[in-house]
Amino acid sequence: MSYGGGGFDDNAGGFGSQQTPSKPRRDYDAQTLIPVTVKMLQDAQGIPGGDSNAGDMILADERPLHMVKLVGAVRTVEPKSTNIYLDIEDGTGLFNVKVYNGGQEEGNGGDPSAIQQIKAAAFQDNQYVRIIGQVKEFDGNRTLIANDIRVLASGDEFTYHFCEVAYSYEKYLKRKSQQQQMFGGGMMGYGIGNMASSGAPPPQGGNIISPSNGGGNNTVNQAVITLLQNEGANNDTGIHISEIQQILSGQGFNANDVQKAIADLSNEGHIYSTIDENHYQYAS
């Protein structure tokens, strides 16, 4: 299949929605931005007991859908009074996208002029765009509600997105396999935060530690977890590695041992990176 017309904007920017403070923390999977294809969104299923109208859906691989990133070409543009509807094609299918039309004057509920220009550049047939948003279902029809849309800076970004999709999937399978080993092979929840609800006891011995035990030879591991539990409880961004090392060095731990413990705990699924690879949070 070939994409016609359109192109890429070297000066493309982006826009984002304001975040509401003081919301309860979601589990790790719900905080993750998942790169997806149209086919993945079409094959997603509703969570049993959930509300698909509110976005309660999971992918075929059981990852919960919260915020997703989709890249593709604009095939149709349908302006409405308050929203603009787009059909996006990425080679795996066609998907409907709804974008808020903040075309009023700035200061009267409309978007700032710079954001309006960025959005307007994306509302063109055969334009390649990147969209971040949440999938909702209305009367059996699925729509991606866009929080952010912008023109791709280059064709490399389109190719890179599909690499991200594959990498994200493989990373999830690896973490899922590790969790199944830790909890006796059962996954009854939809994310790290729900693993404790599976009812499967952790295997005895080995390197698995929990906040309630001493950790045996994993004293530094336990110290890292305890610190992240106490200091990161009300901090969604987590704690920087250097700060963890500094605090634990005051407790007699070697900085290199702390860094190794962080890497091990991350690989085992006990902790996870947040805003970047240097900030970590406990997978409660």
List, in order, residues 6 or more apart from 125 with CB less than 8 Å away: 5, 6, 74, 75, 76, 77
Contacts of 48 (CB under 8 A, 6+ apart): none
3 state SS of 47: coil
Q: Whats the size of the chain, residue-wise? A: 284
Strands 64-65, 67-79: pairing is: unpaired
Question: Tens of pLDDT along the chain (284 residues)?
Answer: 444 445 555 444 444 444 444 444 444 445 578 999 999 999 998 876 666 555 578 898 888 888 899 999 999 999 988 899 999 999 999 999 999 876 555 444 455 677 777 778 889 899 999 999 999 988 888 999 998 899 998 889 999 999 989 988 888 888 777 766 666 544 444 343 333 333 334 333 333 333 333 333 378 888 888 888 877 666 667 788 888 888 888 888 888 899 898 888 887 777 877 777 788 888 75
DSSP, residue by residue, 251-274: TT--HHHHHHHHHHHHHHTSEEE-
Full set of structural domains in the chain with CATH = 28-164 (2.40.50.140), 204-282 (1.10.10.10)
What span, in angstroms and rounded, lies between the C-alpha atoms of 11 and 264? 40
Q: At what angle do helices 255-268 and 241-249 cross, to 10 degrees?
A: 130
* 272 close to 278: Cβ distance less than 8 angstroms: no
Residues 6+ apart with CB under 8 A from 30: 64, 66, 191, 193
Reading the block at residue 191, the tokens are: 């994310």
Note every long-range contact of 24-27, with CB atoms under 8 Å and residues 24 or more positions apart, other chains counting.
Answer: 25/236, 26/66, 26/193, 27/191, 27/192, 27/193, 27/194, 27/284
- Residue 197 sits at the vertex; the CA angle it makes with 194 and 201, to the nearest 5 degrees, is 120
From residue 84, how far is each of 9, 15, 81, 234 by CA, in Å? 21, 16, 8, 37
pLDDT at 270: 79
What is the residue whose two structure tokens read 């909890």?
183
Q: Which residues in the chain belong to E strands, given as ranges?
A: 33-35, 45-46, 57-58, 64-65, 67-79, 83-89, 94-100, 128-138, 141-151, 239-240, 271-273, 279-282
- pLDDT value of residue 245: 87
E-strand spans in 139-247?
Answer: 141-151, 239-240
Whole-angstrom Cα Rg for the chain: 22
Place of tokens 């790290």: 192
